[in-house]
Amino acid sequence: MSEKVRIALDAMGGDNGAAVVIAGADLSLSRHPDTSFIVFGDEAVVRPLLESRPALAAASRLVHTEVTVKMDEKPSQALRHGRWRSSMWLAIDAVKKGEADVTVSAGNTGALMAMSKFHLRTMPGVSRPAIACLWPTLRGESIVLDVGASIGADVQHLVQLAVMGSAMASVVFDLERPTVGLLNVGVEEVKGLEEIREASQVLRTLACSHMDFRGFVEGDDIGRGTVDVVVTEGFTGNIALKTAEGTAKQLAAYLRSAMGRTWMAKIGYLFARQAFKTLKDKMDPRKVNGGVFLGLNGVVIKSHGGTDAEGFAAAVDLGYDMARYELMAKIRRTLGQAAPAPVAGEVAS
Amino acid sequence: MSEKVRIALDAMGGDNGAAVVIAGADLSLSRHPDTSFIVFGDEAVVRPLLESRPALAAASRLVHTEVTVKMDEKPSQALRHGRWRSSMWLAIDAVKKGEADVTVSAGNTGALMAMSKFHLRTMPGVSRPAIACLWPTLRGESIVLDVGASIGADVQHLVQLAVMGSAMASVVFDLERPTVGLLNVGVEEVKGLEEIREASQVLRTLACSHMDFRGFVEGDDIGRGTVDVVVTEGFTGNIALKTAEGTAKQLAAYLRSAMGRTWMAKIGYLFARQAFKTLKDKMDPRKVNGGVFLGLNGVVIKSHGGTDAEGFAAAVDLGYDMARYELMAKIRRTLGQAAPAPVAGEVAS
């Protein structure tokens, strides 16, 4: 990696487009001055935004393209129409060519994953990419993966998810040996969990110095922060993530309604305003914005499409950390340790 | 059904045993005086508890057994040791024999499901039983199933879940045509969801007057209350349920911590105390206590093992509703409408 962290930005992605991307990048730059940007987008739109922010303009190179992947385009459509020339593709291409260390986009998730897979390809030893997210917990934060890159997972893929997730945890949380749990249900003797049980056995036998495997965890262990990394296949992970988001919104609505119902409650609210602000900050989804695409030959960060500058800045910060603390090298190192280990069947024979 | 609702109670189930069961039944009886109970348990323990509650004692018949299924017994162990003679088995047996309309137990979930399946068997037209739960939402409550009876589901089972869930919704929410959604992830063109897509097509073609199928819903639609019934297979359903419980606990802990941090917040808390009480009631898991085993020849209600009298009473209330408003007949009626409909493959040919 060069001395500066080089970030490729898809300036045209997201519901709010270039204004949010440029403002967010500016905010992140103020926190990490050792960043440079390559900004891909429509010059007529992006140039004026950049020029109003001299520090960012000085740290950026703008590459013009008129082609934008739409938020509602299907991945296959986006590939047909946006390959080689869209801002999204070109941002990924910058990582592929080694001109950037990481790509950040708030664009269409399906299209971003399809293009990233197509162009960057999966890394040796990884069968399928995954999306990892940061999940706020009672202990701080955990990483949950996969939250929707692919559906279903065999033993090998679950083991790869554990390896990639623990490498990411070592980067984000600065841990030598992150704890890892496999998401499961508590009922014993239920059929159909063979791959999860077998993955657990494989992970137990891995004498891996970069990962501390703790066995099964259940749904309520995620918010409790029982482990640093929660491993599950993409369908369940996506449902869990959205269910938690839904529950958080629901409880916030209950709280607002309870605090507005009587004069006593309203007075109480005024006194406790600072406490409510603390709580709101704690629950702020913008602070943990950014899904990380893992398992490709390059790091791609997906920001929420509907976020604001603060949220996009968090995604850029995450990209900065991934590059600065060498996520790719750490995944390769842990994969290298994990790969030669015997699988469960061989141990038994 | 007889004029009274006849409820069979496993008095020995749950972390807190007979004291909670008897107090809960008494509470439920005060709300539904047209209930009679058959209470299965150790006479030396249960008789004194019953005698201290004359109204309940008058409405109850006590059947003595010394055999109790332990909370940590494996289902297979429980079947071996508790069949024919444990309080759990005898409570299920009362429904099998037609002496009771519904069974309520706070015992070991796996054992209760294994015994219920073994003794009651699945009803004609249903391949596997399911556990349905009530889920508090912004609109009120929804039913989510399956939350853990079995892992994985083919098209036929997903359709059966929709049928059983909508029958339960018509009973619990008093609706002619409950809305039903299939839980899915939002990403298009992801492989591995064939059975969910196909189930959706089958449900669309069912001209069923007792169910209003609304297509796919996502994880955050559950808390939003988008549909009355959310259908998913048991692994994902269990993870979603526990994840939501974990998130609710997490946010409650954040709130407590924020309100105790400063004197201003503490004063605010005092003013808003009533509002916080309302919120706490709203989030009270005891009020929606009770998983309903669906798809068997008889209704079995599973109460949380760790609940108190108020929570157990909610499970008994749920059992009362299921019997009084004829859940079994409604499931049969909807199954009858759903069964002869052509499946997707036949429509295409």
Residue B236 to residue A183: CA distance in whole angstroms: 10
Q: Quote the ipTM score.
A: 0.87
Q: Is B295 left (phi over 0), alpha (psi -120 to 50) or beta?
A: left
Contacts A140 to B, Cβ<8 Å: none
Instruction: Say which DSSP state A176 is in.
Output: S
Q: Do A247 and B247 touch (CB under 8 A)?
A: yes
Residue B38 to residue B36: CA distance in whole angstroms: 7
How close B85 gets to chain A, by Cα (Å)?
23
CB pairs under 8 A between A and B: 231
Is-contact B68 B87, C-beta < 8 A? yes
- The label of the residue with tokens 């909670």 reads B20
Contacts B232 to A, Cβ<8 Å: 239
Whether the upstream peptide bond of residue B101 has omega within 30° of 0, thus cis, is: no
Sheet holding A141-145: strands in order across?
Answer: A60-64, A35-41, A5-10, A102-105, A299-302, A291-294, A130-136, A141-145, A229-231, A179-183, A212-217
Q: Do B273 and A270 touch (CB under 8 A)?
A: no
Please report the pLDDT score of residue B175 as a whole number: 94
Mean pLDDT score, B151-175: 94
Instruction: Say which DSSP state A288 is in.
Output: G
pLDDT category, B189, cuts 50, 70, 90?
Answer: low
Among candidate residues A50, A54, A72, the one with its CA nearest the CA of residue A63: A50
Q: Do B265 and A272 touch (CB under 8 A)?
A: yes
Among candidate residues A224, A117, A217, A235, the one with its CA nearest the CA of residue A162: A217
- Residue B253, pLDDT above cutoff 80: yes
CATH topology classification for B1-120: Isopropylmalate Dehydrogenase (3.40.718)
Is-contact A300 A293, C-beta < 8 A? yes
- The label of the residue with tokens 């007529």 reads A44
Q: Do B247 and A249 touch (CB under 8 A)?
A: no
Residue B252 or A203, more confident: A203
Please report the pLDDT score of residue B339 as a whole number: 57
Please report the pLDDT score of residue A44 as a whole number: 96
| Half-sphere exposure for B223 (CA within 13 Å, toward CB) | 26
Secondary structure of A216-274 in HEC code, one letter for each residue = EECHHHHHHCCCCEEECCHHHHHHHHHHHHHHHHHHHHHHHHHHCCCHHHHHHHHHCHH
CA-angle at A144, arms to A182 and A236, nearest 5°: 70
Among candidate residues A322, A302, A328, the one with its CA nearest the CA of residue A35: A322
Same CATH topology for B1-120 and B130-287+327-349? yes
Is-contact B51 B343, C-beta < 8 A? no
pLDDT category, B188, cuts 50, 70, 90?
Answer: low
Contacts B240 to A, Cβ<8 Å: 219, 239-240, 243
Least confident of A71-80, B152-161, B282-291, B306-315: B282-291
Provide the 3-class DSSP secondary structure of residue A325: coil
pLDDT category, B348, cuts 50, 70, 90?
Answer: very low
| Closest partner CB to A138 (pick from B75, B109, B250) | B250
| Closest partner CB to A185 (pick from B238, B246, B261) | B238
DSSP B318-338: HHHHHHHTTHHHHHHHHHHHH
Q: Which numeric CATH code is attached to A127-290?
A: 3.40.718.10
Is-contact B305 B103, C-beta < 8 A? no
Q: Do A262 and B275 touch (CB under 8 A)?
A: yes
Residue A145 to residues B1, B194, B303: CA-CA distances in angstroms? 50, 22, 32
Please report the pLDDT score of residue A206 as a whole number: 85
| Closest partner CB to B246 (pick from A221, A258, A274) | A221
Residue B150 or A59, more confident: A59
Nearest CA in chain A to B75: A189
How close B312 gets to chain A, by Cα (Å)?
21
Residue B145 to residue B133: CA distance in whole angstroms: 7
Residue B60 to residue B54: CA distance in whole angstroms: 10
Among candidate residues B59, B112, B122, the one with its CA nearest the CA of residue B305: B112
Contacts B261 to A, Cβ<8 Å: 275, 278
pLDDT category, B347, cuts 50, 70, 90?
Answer: very low
Nearest CA in chain B to A226: B246
| Closest partner CB to B247 (pick from A218, A239, A244) | A244
- Residue B343, pLDDT above cutoff 60: no
Least confident of A121-125, A178-182, B169-173, B185-189: B185-189
Residue A83 to residue A71: CA distance in whole angstroms: 15
Question: Strands B35-41 and B60-64, how do they pair?
Answer: parallel
Is-contact A253 A73, C-beta < 8 A? no
Q: Which numeric CATH code is attached to B130-287+327-349?
A: 3.40.718.10
The residues that bridge with A73 in the sheet, in sequence order, are none
Contacts B152 to A, Cβ<8 Å: 192
Residue B270 to residue B131: CA distance in whole angstroms: 41
Interface mutation target, options B72, B157, B187, chain A, most CBs of A under 10 Å:
B187
Q: b/e string for A297-322 if b means 16 or more Cβ within 10 A?
A: ebbbbbbbbebbbebbbbbbbbbbbb
How close B52 gets to chain A, by Cα (Å)?
36
Is-contact A25 A18, C-beta < 8 A? no
Least confident of A11-15, A139-143, B28-32, B255-259: B255-259
Provide the 3-class DSSP secondary structure of residue A186: coil
Secondary structure of B249-299 in HEC code, one letter for each residue = HHHHHHHHHHHCCCHHHHHHHHHCHHHHHHHHHHCCHHHHCCEEEECECCE
Residue B105 to residue B115: CA distance in whole angstroms: 12
| Closest partner CB to A282 (pick from B109, B254, B268) | B254
Least confident of A158-172, B145-159, B192-206: B192-206
Provide the 3-class DSSP secondary structure of residue A142: strand
Residue B315 to residue B290: CA distance in whole angstroms: 5
Residue boundaries of the structural domains of chain A: 127-290
Residue B31 to residue A146: CA distance in whole angstroms: 47
Residue B300's H or E segment, with its range, is strand B299-302
Residue A271 to residue A278: CA distance in whole angstroms: 13
Residue B23 or B283, more confident: B23
Instruction: Say which DSSP state B135 is in.
Output: E
Nearest CA in chain B to A193: B151
Among candidate residues A294, A299, A336, A296, the one with its CA nearest the CA of residue A321: A299
Least confident of A66-75, A178-187, B181-190, B292-301: B181-190
Low-confidence ranges of chain A (pLDDT < 50): 340-349
Nearest CA in chain A to B138: A250
